Amino acid sequence: MKYLIENFPGQLKEAFRIGEQAKLSGAKKISNVFISGLGGSGIGGTIVSELVAMEATVPIIVGKGYFIPKFVDKNTLIIISSYSGNTEETLNCLNLALKRKAKIVCITSGGKAAEIAKKKKLDVILIPGGNPPRACLGYSLTQLFFILFANKIIGNRFKQQLRSAVELIETEKQNIVYEAKTIAEKLHGETPIIYATTYFEGVAIRFRQQLNENAKVLCSHHVIPEMNHNELVGWPSGTEKVAVIFLRDQDEYERNNSRIEISKEVIKKYTPNITEVWSKGRSQIEKAIYFIHLVDWVSLFLSELRGVDAVEVKVIDHLKGALSRI
């Protein structure tokens, strides 16, 4: 896992080359987009849909289950993201999308998704396989941008922003590793609670998922301003055994910044363990990539502090095995 996290900049570069060379047919008319994917294969959809929200010309919905919305039709772009190509929920969405005659593009390393794509002559982007899906976010996330661009849903600004993001995390490598170790030490022995503002919720989810799978800990996340309307009221039952992390951005909307400061004052009454993590970069894409790389390192260092194997996910393997016998 350490090698895979360390190689994230290289993965993004390779993913960019794959995206540039991908043969995508595009579509004459797209009314909406539905991205299907779960876990490490699906988090890219959540993050990208937020990053392009202010630019995308049509609505983008992300699904993390067995079914597709009723609105899906021949004018819907369906993106099937399954690293293994065998995710049963995503494959069910793929088969339903075929029945609706939607425009389908698959992102996968092989498996049944690749077989179906070949048989049905669907657009498919093949990415390198053989690693934990959560360690290959760079591949799937990058292809999503290229697919949206090929279908004229976003412009090409993402290309330079992705290049700049790679340069940023390469330049900041030592600082990222140092900060990640410091954060991991604050989380060790505590229950993490992650807060972010709306357009970084995908990053917060990524953080939570990486702590779940790599460090084997339970944690939660919420977003501002929504948490000000519910979760903040629950803090009187909080304890000092929680560690709060705020994902911050210098360019955040001023009202959200005010909400964060007021929320911190409330939370400080119940726990002193509050950490603010600030983004770096000029564009939202750069900031998201910076955060992703940082929190991945945090999850690795916390796994080491806890003495657990960051790669092992036996409970998920058990679940899949049990489901296969039903």
Estimate the share of the chain in helix, then strand, then coil, as percent rounded to the nearest 5.
55, 15, 30
**Closest of 82, 324, 50, 53 to residue 203, by C-alpha:** 50
Are the CB atoms for 92 and 65 separated by under 8 Å?
Answer: no
d(CA 222, CA 259): 13
Question: For 221-248, b where at least 16 C-beta lie within 10 A, e where not — what string?
Answer: bbbbeebbeebbeebeebeeebbbbbbb
63, β-bridge pairs: 36
Residue 216 tokens read as 């084997």
d(CA 8, CA 280): 17
From residue 143, alpha-carbon distances to 148, 186, 264, 325 in Å are 9, 35, 37, 34
Q: Which of 50, 89, 213, 286 is catalytic?
A: 213
d(CA 215, CA 316): 15
Q: Which of 23, 99, 229, 314 is catalytic?
A: 229
Question: For 35-45, b where at least 16 C-beta lie within 10 A, e where not — what string?
Answer: bbbbbbbbbbb
Secondary structure class of 322 (helix, strand, coil) = helix
213 belongs to the catalytic site = yes
119 belongs to the catalytic site = no
Amino acid identity, position 41: S
Q: CA 300 from chain center: how many Å?
A: 17
Amino acid identity, position 59: P
243, β-bridge pairs: 192
320 belongs to the catalytic site = yes
**Closest of 266, 274, 269 to residue 183, by C-alpha:** 274
Are the CB atoms for 67 and 93 separated by under 8 Å?
Answer: yes
d(CA 296, CA 292): 6
* Active site (catalytic) residues: 213, 229, 320
